[in-house]
Amino acid sequence: VNRELMQQAQARLDAKTKPPGALGRLEEFARRMVAISGTGSPDTSKKVIYTFAGDHGVTDEGVALYPKAVTTQMVYNFLAGGAGVNVLARHVGAEVRVVDVGVDNDFGDLAGVIHRKVARGTRNFAKGPAMTREEMLAAITVGIDLAEQCRVEGIALVGTGEMGIGNTTPSSAIIAAISGKAVRDVTHRGTGIDDDALELKIRVIEQGLAINQPDSTNPLDVLAKVGGLEIAAIAGLVLGCAANGIPVVIDGFISTAGALIASELHPNVADYIFAAHRSMEIGHSFMLERIGVEPILDLNLRLGEGTGAALAMSLIEAGVKTLNEMATREQAGVTHE
Amino acid sequence: VNRELMQQAQARLDAKTKPPGALGRLEEFARRMVAISGTGSPDTSKKVIYTFAGDHGVTDEGVALYPKAVTTQMVYNFLAGGAGVNVLARHVGAEVRVVDVGVDNDFGDLAGVIHRKVARGTRNFAKGPAMTREEMLAAITVGIDLAEQCRVEGIALVGTGEMGIGNTTPSSAIIAAISGKAVRDVTHRGTGIDDDALELKIRVIEQGLAINQPDSTNPLDVLAKVGGLEIAAIAGLVLGCAANGIPVVIDGFISTAGALIASELHPNVADYIFAAHRSMEIGHSFMLERIGVEPILDLNLRLGEGTGAALAMSLIEAGVKTLNEMATREQAGVTHE
């Protein structure tokens, strides 16, 4: 990112009709948006949230509260505009784009879906690798392609989201593999499983790590062996946004697992990431720290889909607007300090 | 507030296409908005922020970084739409209404200002009472009248804001007087004063409390002796909103001092209050705890004007929209647990 533009943006913020720094993190959002986009006055009107859908073979182990069919059902709900992410994206003026990267359902050429299916879900990582290396790379490429497309379209701000029954399980597996932390310390209740199911989920992840032996120093190996297709696509989207100078707002726990893979691959990727919120899932804060980003919201959200990203995008936009629209003390005839 | 409607709202949220509780505090906002407004599907389109302007005699003691004239200058900035609150209110679709309740300037019949001046600023509370009891009551009445007007207009959500050079000083004095806490523990840097000025500010507040001997069990006595005209108007607005069943979003440190007065006067007032954010000012968290409200945002804001209220109003509206617009599992054909 452009550090000189960042300093110029802060100097312009300091000339506004407010005490220096008084808009707190809104000022951070504004100067980072300038530095990432490379333009002094970013136009934030074009905002897109990509909601990647994929299924997970590991649900065969009974780790999820809802049946796999719900992933497909929710894709139809996204198209109908009735899901949480639809409501919140409309509220903030963002567009939701639904990407089938790995749903265990044949959507044919259903309109409204971006059809980039790599496989009908991952394999059960408790028994072997979730994906082949080729599948993993194909899913990452989906995200990279979409980021490329965003640059062409002039999208100012990208959000990540996901839908995939069972996908907190691979997310916890990814953190455990990369950090070496105990599975128990990074595994939580997902959509709301009880104590027994939580113990089962921990055992399944431990088994998956023992069987697959992912190389903790190789994020792509971890991703292929215990990750998910939608998580890989998010990793690719984050990488692609960084490569194309597009700010990307990562949603909650699962999106952050994807962003962690991207960030582990290149240290500069974090410069392009905004963390939407602090999830209820334990292990989330650890991932955010490792990436080096501070969450914007803390509203006990745990829905995913891109819901938190939508809300955070509006706050980032608010910061940019203070830079673009507030009067300077000079313009307003306000006495300097 | 209507507890039965609150439970009905939560039941409706639980039927939506999401795990129960997965939208965290957005669900709290939705059910509280229902309970306060008494309508199952609140229409949040009409949102107004009242920015009350007033001056403070205590600035004679040198407690503020900026000269008193800035209060007047900022009123003109509000009218021109160039201030932080204007930008953020536009962003969230709220209207800013500027109320002169105590600016030390003759605005004549200047268009765009709600002219309700009680006095040209308070007196220096380091030397005697800031206001007479009559002035204090008149300023409270301004807020009550405006809340009444909001009911007539069908305003769904009211925000508080203020502009008054020096007004963190009376705010800290109010908390110290009501809580009995040491002035030092509730007094901070306002717009950014240095260590020496902070020591002076603490001494001035201590002197004001010693000279005026406000009755800590009588919020109105505290308000009159060491408060401010805009703080009194905010107290009145909060009281009026509670009386009229209108949810009110309090901004930062100074607005919370006004809300604290209102809340001390009647225990049910807190049911109508949303706290926009956690201010950088020390003493703020204590006030929020005493009122019994949890801040929505934590973005290191310390500008006032209603800037934090604007952002929080949009999040509250987002919560209401999930209730109003999300599909149920039934409607979307999504498998139940």
| Nearest CA-CA distance, residue B168 and chain A, Å | 14
The CA distances from residue A34 to A27, A90, A329, B106, B193, in Å, are 11, 25, 21, 41, 29
A237-271 pLDDT per residue, tens: 999 999 999 999 999 999 999 999 999 999 999 99
A187-218 pLDDT per residue, tens: 998 778 899 999 999 999 999 999 999 999 99
Give the integer Cα–Cα distance in Å for B25 and B274: 12
B67-81 pLDDT per residue, tens: 999 999 999 999 999
Of A20, A25, A91, the CB nearest to B318: A91
Q: Report, as an integer, the average pLDDT of B290-314.
A: 97
Give the integer Cα–Cα distance in Å for A180 and A22: 40
- pLDDT at position B65 is 87
Q: Does A67 touch chain B (CB under 8 A)?
A: yes
Q: Does A13 touch chain B (CB under 8 A)?
A: no
Q: Does B62 touch chain A (CB under 8 A)?
A: no
Neighbours of A125 (CB within 10 A): 29
Matching residue, tokens 């010693």:
B210
Instruction: Give the number of A-B residue pairs with CB atoms closer than 8 Å.
Output: 180
A283-332 pLDDT per residue, tens: 899 999 999 999 999 999 999 999 999 999 999 999 999 999 999 999 99
- pLDDT at position B337 is 56
Q: Does A261 touch chain B (CB under 8 A)?
A: no
Are residues B333 and A24, on separate chains, in Cβ contact within 8 Å? no
Are residues A327 and B82, on separate chains, in Cβ contact within 8 Å? yes
Q: What percent of chain B has pLDDT over 70?
A: 99
Of B23, B77, B335, the CB nearest to A66: B335
Give the integer Cα–Cα distance in Å for A18 and A29: 17
Q: Does A64 touch chain B (CB under 8 A)?
A: no
- Return the exposure string of A73-112: e unless at least 16 CB atoms fall within 10 Å of the residue's CB, then b: bbbbbbbebbbbbbbbbbbbebebbbbbbbbbbebeeeee
Residues 6+ apart with CB under 8 A from B140: B223, B232, B233, B235, B236, B239
Are residues B91 and A303, on separate chains, in Cβ contact within 8 Å? no
pLDDT above 90 (res B46) = yes
The residue among A86, A188, A300 with the most chain B CBs within 10 A of its CB, best to mutate, is A300
A1-54 pLDDT per residue, tens: 899 999 999 999 999 999 999 999 999 999 999 999 999 999 999 999 999 999
- pLDDT at position A134 is 98
Are residues B326 and A87, on separate chains, in Cβ contact within 8 Å? yes
pLDDT above 60 (res B88) = yes
pLDDT above 90 (res A280) = no
Q: Contacts of residue B94 in chain A, CB cutoff 8 Å? A: none
Are residues B335 and A280, on separate chains, in Cβ contact within 8 Å? no
Q: Report, as an integer, the average pLDDT of A222-236.
A: 98
**Where does chain B hold its CATH 1.10.1610.10 domain(s)?**
3-41+323-332
Residue B49, φ and ψ in degrees, nearest 5: -110, 125
Residues 6+ apart with CB under 8 A from B203: none
CATH topology of domain B3-41+323-332: 1.10.1610
Of B23, B24, B87, the CB nearest to A322: B87
Identify the CATH number of the domain defined by range A47-315: 3.40.50.10210
Pairing verdict, β A248-250 and A157-163 = parallel
Of A21, A24, A314, the CB nearest to B314: A314
- pLDDT at position B190 is 79
Of B18, B70, B325, the CB nearest to A303: B18
Give the integer Cα–Cα distance in Å for B252 and B248: 13
User: What's at A6, amino acid-wise?
Assistant: M
Residue of B nearest to A299 (CA): B25
Residue of A nearest to B28 (CA): A299
User: What's at B7, amino acid-wise?
Assistant: Q
The A residues from 293 to 312 touching B (CB cutoff 8 Å) are 296-303, 307, 311
The residue among A18, A78, A165 with the most chain B CBs within 10 A of its CB, best to mutate, is A18
Are residues B299 and A77, on separate chains, in Cβ contact within 8 Å? no
B146-163 pLDDT per residue, tens: 999 999 999 999 999 999
| Nearest CA-CA distance, residue B94 and chain A, Å | 13
Are residues A84 and B326, on separate chains, in Cβ contact within 8 Å? yes
Tokens of B38: 């008494």
Are residues A19 and B65, on separate chains, in Cβ contact within 8 Å? yes
Strand-pair partners of B249:
B159, B274
> What radius of gyration do chain A's Cα atoms show?
20
| Nearest CA-CA distance, residue A315 and chain B, Å | 7
**Where does chain A hold its CATH 3.40.50.10210 domain(s)?**
47-315
Share the mean pLDDT of chain B. Answer: 96
Q: Report, as an integer, the average pLDDT of B283-306.
A: 95
Query: Sorting pLDDT into bands at 50, 70 and 90, what band is B262?
Result: very high
Residues 6+ apart with CB under 8 A from A105: A71, A72, A75, A120
Q: Contacts of residue B302 in chain A, CB cutoff 8 Å? A: 19, 21-22, 24
Q: Report, as an integer, the average pLDDT of B39-49.
A: 96
- pLDDT at position B58 is 97
| Nearest CA-CA distance, residue B211 and chain A, Å | 31
Give the integer Cα–Cα distance in Å for B165 and A240: 47
- pLDDT at position A337 is 56
Are residues B335 and A69, on separate chains, in Cβ contact within 8 Å? yes
Q: Does A315 touch chain B (CB under 8 A)?
A: yes
Tell me which residues of B are annotated as active site.
Answer: 305
